[in-house]
Structures are given as C-alpha cells and as structure tokens.
Structure 1
Amino acid sequence: MDKYAIIKIGSTQYKIHEGDTLTVDNQNGKVDAEVLLFSDGKTTILGDPTVKDAHVKIKITGAVRGEKIVVGRFKSKSRYRKGRGYRDTLSELLIEKIELGGKKATEEKSIDEAPKKAVEAKPIKAEKKVSKKEPAKKVVKIKKPVKKGTK
C-alpha cells in the first residue's frame, strides 16, 4: 500500500500521493493545505475537521494559464454581437512529502541559517513645525451691465 492524503486547498479537495503534481488556482507564493484524511497503508486517520499531526510539504513549481473561456452576447435581428475571452492563472504544485507527527513541514528551517542579531534603535528626530500660509485673496471683477439695442 502507498501513503496518501486528502487535502483541502482553497475550497477544493484533492487526493494526493508523494511525488504527485497538481494544477490549482493561483496561490501567490504560499500554499495553505489542510489535511482532512491521512493513510499510510496500514492505518487511516480521519480528521475532525482536520488531522492535527499530519503535514504536507508542497513546492510551487510554476505558473500556467488555464483554458480560454469565451463569453459572448448578442441581440437578435439587430446584428449586435460582442465577445470577450478570459484565461485564469493557475499554479503547478509538487507534493514532496506527506508526514504524520513531528515538526510542521512548512516551518522547517535550515541549519545554515544564522541567528538574528538585535537591531539597535536609532533616535527619532523631532519634526519641524511648518507655518501655514494664508490663503490667497480672490480678486472679484465687477461686470458692467450690457445695454441691449432696440430696433
């Protein structure tokens, strides 16, 4: 038997195995996958609603464009036709690891990472007060009435 899991990404559920590739809606750099069911071939764990200790390591391999959706409208007997196309951006994902227990797969840190140094606080300079300018006075021109000529 093989290890598999059912995960939820966005509002869609997928049955995955290690090494699978998925094409899902655009993920913008971070994939939030909830494990709903985990099975290692011997035991099956069903989450309520998710399996607490199960984690999936997912890598985004690229972005692709989906199929074109053409939307058209027309009015009969008047030769009026309009068409518009739309293609969605999709993300390709690679399932690297499915694991139960231990550290969360997305929060693993490398050993080479140096500890962060404390940043010294720099004093903030006081802002200078800016004097407000008086609004410019409006010049009003008085128009003389125009005399209308008679015939």
Structure 2
Amino acid sequence: MYAVVELQGHQYIVSQGLDLVVDKLDFEVGKNFDVRVLALFSEDGKQTTLGAPFVDGASVGFEVKAHQRGEKIRVLKFKRKNRYERNFGHRSYQTVLTVTTVNGK
C-alpha cells in the first residue's frame, strides 16, 4: 500500500513504516498528524486511484521522530581575472518523520 503526499511543496511516495526526512516542520517530537493523499493511492499495487487534486477519504498519518540539521552545503562565488573569491555555506534544518498509517477509502 502506497500513496503520494505533498509536504511543504514537495511530493513524496510513502508507505507504512517508511522514515522520511523533510524540511523543518513546526511540530514537537512525538506529535502525530495527518495529511490528505495527493494525486495517487494504491492498496494492492495493481489498482490505483487518481485524485483531482486529492483522493477522497484517503489520508496518511505521520509521527515526528526528531529534528536535525542536514549536511553542510558549500557555495563558492568567484570572478575570473580579478582575484575575487567568496566561500560560504549553510546547513538546513530538517525533520525526521515516520509514516504510521496509510488509510484508503
């Protein structure tokens, strides 16, 4: 059983028990929340239901496991022939989610 859900503008294919790392969500660790299924839902892998834009009665339950920071991303900016160079980077805040339930119609 799997579904396509949208979290913060990104679409993910999820199934029960899957761990998912997304951009930071403002939920406390241990909090449970539901998301409506976007675009696609399949119970047995053979028969799928398409949504326009959501599948009626289908939802996915998530549990917040942890908040963390991603790996450092380095950015180098330079201009040739001018000896100009800037090096900087950042680490994004992330949330680890676990899919607890995938409910159909």
Q: TM-score range by the shorter chain?
A: 0.7 to 0.9
Look up the equivalent residue of 1:20 and give its one-letter code: L
Instruction: Judging by fraction of residues, say which structure has more strand.
Output: 2
Match of 2:42 among 39, 43, 47: 39
Question: Which portions of structure 1, spanning 4 or more consecutive aligned residues, are displaced by more than 6 angstroms?
Answer: none
Match of 2:74 among 64, 70, 77: 70
Q: Is the 8 A contact 2:34 2:60 kept in 1?
A: no
Look up the equivalent residue of 2:13 and give its one-letter code: K
Correspondence 1:9-28 to 2 at 5 A: 9-28=7-26
Cα displacement string for residues 106-126 of structure 1 (whole angstroms, at most 9, x for unaligned residues)? xxxxxxxxxxxxxxxxxxxxx
Distance (Å, rounded) in 1 between the aligned partners of 2:92 and 2:34: 20
CA RMSD of superposed structures (Å): 2.0
Q: Report sequence identity in percent.
A: 37
Unaligned segments of structure 1, at least 5 residues: 102-151
Q: Is the 8 A contact 2:41 2:50 kept in 1?
A: yes
Q: Is the 8 A contact 2:34 2:61 kept in 1?
A: no
Unaligned segments of structure 2, at least 5 residues: none
Distance (Å, rounded) in 2 between the aligned partners of 1:61 and 1:90: 11
Give 2:91's aligned residue: 87
Aligned positions, number:
99
- TM-score under structure 1 normalisation? 0.58
Higher relative contact order (CA 8 A, sep 6+): 2
